[in-house]
């Protein structure tokens, strides 16, 4: 799939304020700083589309981007940012769970995992929650340019093994790097397939 146009639509503080759910939607979620906004920019070929930062906690709202005027990409606030005051962390959690459970046009949630580190309980727990909500999901192992192949592969294998303790089958998995654009074609092809399977876009 070719991304011909990618436009920012709006930032929303809750699912209630999101744009009309009238087209397929794909959301990116994961711990703060894992690379959600960077990945959206890579997929769209526009480094300035979603705001990125080396400081965690940059994205604080639900951000919709319209792709080819026919489907949405959504940049979500990160979870698990330790430096947030507790009250704010719980607001983020409500924003996130409200969005994930109420958005009817959500075709797939991409959960981003940092390939530089071994499996983290917070990611595994979050993925299990998505499973309980029965929302289609895919896993994206990010920043693969940052770690030696052997170490990264062992983190990814450990993660998949952990997931298989509770899941019957592995969800689709992707590996990405914004440095060399790894994973871009694969993710866009996956989105195209989902759109076609649902006869939309």
Ligand X SMILES: Nc1nc2c(ncn2[C@@H]2O[C@H](COP(=O)(O)OP(=O)(O)OP(=O)(O)O)[C@@H](O)[C@H]2O)c(=O)[nH]1
What is the binding site for Mg ion (CB under 5 A)?
A: 36-37, 58-59
Which of 125/161 has CB closer to ligand X? Answer: 125
Counting beta carbons within 10 angstroms of the beta carbon of residue 180, is it exposed (0 to 12), middle (13 to 18) or buried (19 or more)?
Answer: exposed
Q: Applying CB under 6 A, does 98 fall inside the site for ligand X?
A: no
Q: Is the dihedral of CA 27, 28, 30, 33 positive or negative?
A: negative
| Residues 40 and 33: beta-carbon distance below 8 Å | no
Which of 18/140 has CB closer to ligand X? Answer: 140
Which of 120/200 has CB closer to ligand X? Answer: 120
User: Considering only residues 22-41, where is the footprint of ligand X by CB under 6 A?
Assistant: 30, 32-38
Q: Is the dihedral of CA 102, 76, 171, 5 positive or negative?
A: positive
Q: Which of 52, 96, 111, 156 binds ligand X (CB under 6 A)?
A: 52
User: Considering only residues 118-177, where is the footprint of ligand X by CB under 6 A?
Assistant: 142-143, 145-146, 176-177
Q: For residues 172 and 33, what is the distance between their CA atoms, to the nearest angstrom?
A: 22
* Best CA proximity match to 9, nearest among 53, 98, 58, 71: 71
Q: Which of 140, 178, 187, 194 binds ligand X (CB under 6 A)?
A: 178
Shortest Cβ distance from residue 168 to ligand X (Å)? Answer: 29
């Amino acid at each position: 799939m070719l991304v011909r146009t990618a436009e920012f639509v709006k930032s929303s503080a809750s699912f209630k304020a999101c744009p009309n759910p009238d087209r397929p939607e794909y959301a990116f979620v994961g711990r703060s700083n894992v690379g959600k906004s960077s990945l959206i920019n890579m997929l769209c070929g526009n480094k300035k589309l979603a705001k990125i930062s080396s400081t965690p906690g940059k994205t604080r709202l639900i951000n919709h981007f319209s792709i080819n005027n026919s489907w949405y990409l959504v940049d979500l606030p990160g979870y698990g940012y330790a430096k947030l005051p507790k009250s704010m962390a719980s607001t983020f959690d409500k924003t996130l769970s409200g969005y994930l459970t109420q958005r009817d046009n959500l075709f797939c949630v991409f959960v981003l995992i940092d390939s530089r580190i071994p499996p983290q309980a917070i990611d595994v727990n979050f993925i299990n929650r998505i499973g309980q909500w029965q929302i289609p999901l895919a896993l994206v192992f990010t920043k693969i340019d940052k770690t030696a192949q052997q170490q990264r592969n062992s983190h990814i294998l450990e993660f998949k093994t952990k997931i298989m303790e509770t899941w019957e089958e592995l969800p689709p998995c992707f590996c990405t790097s914004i440095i060399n654009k790894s994973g871009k074609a694969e993710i866009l092809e996956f989105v195209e397939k989902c759109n076609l399977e649902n006869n939309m876009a």
